[in-house]
Amino acid sequence: MSVTNFNTDLFRDLTFDLLSDISHGSTKFDELTQTYLNKIHERIDGDELRKYTREIYEKILSLQIVQTNPRAQLKDLMHGNIVLVYFWTFSDIKVSHTIHKVIGIDRRYSNAGVTVICVHSPKYEHEKNKANIKHDIEERSLPFTVVNDSGRLVWKHVGCQLWPTVLVFGPDSLPIYIFEGENHVQHLERFLVPVLAHYKSSLCPILNNSLATTNSSEDVATIKAASKVKDFRYPSHICVTSNKLLYISFAGSNQLVLCDIDGKVIDIIGNGNVGMADGDINQAEFDSPHGLVEFNSCIYIADTNNHSIRVFDPNSRRVLTMIGTGCLGTDKIGGLEGIQQPIASPWDLCITESPFDSKTVLLISMTGHHQIWAYAFEETQWWKDVILKKNSCSSIIGSGFEEKKNSSEPLSACLASPCGICNGIMNGEPVIFIADSNSSTIRVVTLNDGHVTNLVGGNADSTNLAAFGDLDGTGHHAKLQYPIGVAFHYPSSYLYITDAFNNKLKRVDMKTLLCSNYFVTDNDKKKTRGETNSSKFYEPHGIAILDHFLYVADKNNSHIKRIDLDHGTFIRHRFDLSETLNEERSFRSKKAYLAIFLDDALKLRDGNAGTWTIEDEDGLKICDGELTHHVPHKILLDYVSRDKQVRSLKYELILCQDDKCTMMNGVVQPVNQTDSIIEFTIKIDQIETTKCG
């Protein structure tokens, strides 16, 4: 019970009244916020407000420190600064949607007198451990102070109701704002600016406010180990290609790695910078890439924090954006084409066929919307009454509400942060298996009719997202803790699951529906000094199967483990980037884009669909390349020096109508040319009758 009269409910009322006033008079934002701040300072119960703040500060100071500022003690950061207290837990997708906003605030305003204190208030048992929080901090590159509220002491004292929650306090310890939930926290910076102006004369910022992990005795070993690690950190997902190569997404280094099945690195895709640049493998940028899948020799990538689907073409060695605008989407229905359709935190990908016309569809576990979406490469019938338009991306499973409701109507069912998806067979019928992470369940969807049911985990209460644990069994008797990866082994009819927060690999026997731990024996003969003789996993994520081998992205161990399913043994794959050099992207260039518009009866030939050449004003070639059939309408061709004045683009396209293919060539001039961009457009309504040899 609070020892002051001022409490969080009253704090909520103050902030709500301000937000309500702004919603009715958005053009008066500056006036309304200034009036609000003046009223806070004119309150006669100011001492009670400061007492409320000090109680929260005292409880924060009692918590375990995970990361702090080396130039000042935690208590010193609470004086003379505007303090943002950010309540989070690293499993929550809404935190992923907002924490980059807080990172931006810290980087822009830390030297101006703003201090961010992250209070990690866990949902899962796994999240209570300091070492596990440290791994998430490193993967996200969080720059601010983090404390571990493992027992949710501060969370309960404040009366927090959901993640994320942000409290804003003035340098005089007056409570200013409380923002709760993803939608409100997204607008935090806008409300922070007038607070900075209001307190400008009384702020005492700590300059050069960089952070470092505290070097307590328990951390020394971890820090020494981390200092030896080069570039590859936190492998997330794996794709085994048709020619038996591995693509691995490394969320911690924002890159993809191509290697052979024995782990020998062949190539690296991406320069490691956080961003969304298309281009060749040394120019491309990602932001926390996760799920991967192969289709038509190209690799499709769930670029999670860029809210987009990217495509890597091994032939051209280029990365393009196929779906998404780069911004967090709010549309939970979809239907737009490719890069016009905003999406939200895609996590995993799966190629499947429509049960009605056998056309290929890309399935996307849209974690940010708690749904499954589908991208149609051509017009496709889906379910009985659903038509997916060519190049469109639409929701097909899940209402968008975060629950674990089953339903015979796929869009009426509810999911909770689905992070894994794969094809499989159940009762002789083709199905989709979903790792429904935040409900700690595995869901199954019948492809023929879209019926969504529970396979293992959770309990019968569709609103209870806290029914997690670690138990073998069938149905609700089995317990999982944040499963992430799923892969189906057709010869044995086993569904393999990475039970991430239990640090285990599990499997479901589809004959008996029994879910059980899958134990493996360490058969690695190439251990380096310090590596233990152990088969333990540490937050395993994505999995993939090739013949009788199962590949596991053992994320926090930064290993890929290859398991022999016939013998239950495994070895590690290690990756060393010390000999790999990545070229820096040049910013003295402009992007050249091509948009191709074809009549509905036409399409580019599969595979090599043509060539293009960009020429300068003297008719000399600047750059050239090939076209493939899968690309979206707007294609990033290359980077052109800003010194070059582009005159034209010559093209040869192989167009097909029914079974007839024809080569067409032509020349187009830029429709737009600036210092940063060149845009070409090709429009073809019909093709000539000359047959292509």
- What is the 3-class SS of 142-177, one letter each residue? CCCEEEECCCCHHHHHHCCCCCCEEEEECCCCCEEE
Say if pTM beats, i.e. exceeds, 0.85: no
- Above 50 in pLDDT, residue 293? yes
What is the pLDDT at residue 490?
A: 97
Which residues neighbour 373 within 8 Å (Cβ) at sequence distance 6 or greater?
334, 343, 346, 363, 364, 366, 393, 394, 395, 396
In the block, residue with structure tokens 């590949």 = 551
- What residue has token string 């048709």? 242
Let me know: does 302 contact 372? Beta carbons within 8 Å. no
Domain match, 597 and 502 both: no
Residues 493 and 361 in one domain: yes
The pLDDT value recorded for residue 27 is: 83
Q: Does 606 share its domain with 488? A: no
Q: For the residues 152-170, what does the mean pLDDT come to?
A: 97
In this prediction, residue 689 has a pLDDT band, given cuts at 50, 70 and 90, of very low
Least Cα distance to 545 among 509, 498, 499, 607 occurs for 498
In b/e form, how buried is each residue of 280-305, taking b as 16+ CB within 10 angstroms?
bbbbbbbbbbbbbbbebebbbbbbbb
Q: Note whether residue 650 is domain-resident.
A: yes
Nearest to 292 by CA among 232, 343, 249, 234: 249
Comparing 341 with 633, the larger pLDDT belongs to 341
- The pLDDT value given to residue 384: 77
Same domain, yes or no: 480 and 601: no
In DSSP terms, 211 is beta-bridged to: none
The residue range of the domain holding 123 is 3-199
Q: How many CA atoms lie within 13 A of 87 on its CB side?
A: 28
pLDDT at 31 exceeding the cut of 90 = yes
Across residues 386-408, what is the average pLDDT? 96
- Is residue 78 within 8 A of residue 72, CB to CB? The reply is no
In a domain, 430, yes or no: yes
Q: What is the mean pLDDT of the chain?
A: 88
- Evaluate whether residue 124 is within a structural domain: yes
Q: Do 596 and 510 belong to one domain?
A: no
What is the layout of strands, in order, in the sheet containing 371-376? Answer: 334-337, 392-397, 371-376, 360-366, 346-353
Band of residue 632 on the pLDDT scale cut at 50, 70, 90? low
Tell the residue number behind the tokens 């051509």, with chain if given: 378
Inside any domain, residue 556: no
Cβ pair 374, 390 in contact under 8 A: no
**Higher pLDDT residue, 511 or 529?**
511
pLDDT at 409: 95
Q: Exposed, middle or buried, 657 (CB in 10 Å: 0-12/13-18/19+)?
A: middle
CB 338 within 8 A of CB 322: yes
For range 191-219, the mean pLDDT: 71
**Res 624: pLDDT:** 79
CA distance 28 to 11: 22
Answer positive or negative: Cα dihedral of 10, 47, 176, 71. Answer: negative
Residue where a domain terminates, one of 153, 168, 199: 199
CB neighbours of residue 412 within 10 Å: 15
Please report which confidence band the pLDDT of residue 12 belongs to, taking 50, 70 and 90 as the band edges. very high
Cα angle for residues 274, 277, 283 (degrees, 5° grid): 90
* 616 confidence band (pLDDT: 50, 70, 90): confident
Q: What is the per-residue pLDDT for 98? A: 96
- 579, pLDDT greater than 50: no
User: What is the reported pLDDT for 588?
Assistant: 47
Is there a contact between 550 and 518 (Cβ–Cβ < 8 Å)? Answer: no
Q: Are residues 345 and 478 in the same domain?
A: yes
Mean pLDDT of 83-99: 97
- At 227 the pLDDT is 34
The pLDDT assigned to 677 comes to: 84
CA distance 585 to 283: 5
Residue 513 lies in a domain: yes
Q: Is residue 400 part of a domain?
A: yes
Cα–Cα distance measured from residue 375 to residue 253, given in angstroms and rounded to the nearest whole number:
27
| Residues whose CB is less than 8 angstroms from the CB of residue 20 and which lie 6 or more positions away in sequence, other chains included | none
Beta strands in 447-539 (DSSP E): 452-457, 473-474, 483-489, 494-499, 504-509, 514-517, 521-522
Q: Would you say residue 534 has pLDDT above 80?
A: no
Q: Is the pLDDT at 209 greater than 60, yes or no?
A: no
Q: How far apart are CA 233 and CA 250, in angstroms?
A: 6
pLDDT above 90 covers what percent of the chain? 69
* CATH label of the domain that carries residue 637: 2.60.40
Does the pLDDT at position 30 exceed 70?
A: yes
Which of 465, 497, 518 lies at the terminal end of a domain, its last residue? 518
Higher pLDDT, 383 or 478: 478
Number of domains in the chain: 3
CB atoms closer than 10 angstroms to residue 39: 12
Name which residue leads in pLDDT, 367 or 220. 367
Query: What pLDDT, on the 0 to 100 scale, is given for residue 637?
Result: 81
Say what the alpha-carbon torsion angle 585, 590, 591, 595 is, to the nearest 10 degrees: 180
Q: What is the pLDDT of residue 497?
A: 98
**Least confident residue range of 29-43, 316-330, 537-551, 615-629:** 615-629
Assess whether 602 and 484 both reside in one domain.
no
Q: Which helix (H) or strand (E) holds 324?
A: none
User: Is residue 27 located within the same domain as residue 170?
Assistant: yes
- Has residue 46 been placed in a domain? yes
In the structure, what pLDDT confidence band is assigned to residue 574 with cuts at 50, 70 and 90? low
CATH number for position 123: 3.40.30.10
**483 and 622 co-located in one domain:** no
Res 70 pLDDT > 80:
no
Q: Is the separation of the CB atoms in 91 and 124 below 8 Å?
A: yes
User: How much is the pLDDT for 525?
Assistant: 55
> Does 420 reside within a domain?
yes
What was the pLDDT predicted at 207? Answer: 62
pLDDT confidence tier of residue 413, bands split at 50, 70 and 90: very high
Instruction: Give yes or no for a contact between 345 and 329, defined as CB atoms under 8 angstroms apart.
Output: no
So what's the pLDDT on residue 212? Answer: 41
Per-residue pLDDT at 623: 81
| pLDDT range class, residue 578, cuts 50, 70, 90 | very low
* Pair (112, 12) in one structural domain: yes
For 179-194, how does the pLDDT look when each residue is reduced to its tens digit (9 = 90+)?
A: 999 999 989 999 999 9
Distance, in Å, from the CA atom of 457 to the CA atom of 125, rounded to the nearest integer, reads 16
The residue behind tokens 């894994």 is 420
More confident residue, 336 or 219: 336
Q: What phi and psi values does residue 182 have, to the nearest 5 degrees? A: -60, -45
Integer Cα distance of 656 and 517 in angstroms:
51
* pLDDT (mean) for 66-91: 90
Q: Find the radius of gyration of the CA atoms of the chain.
A: 27
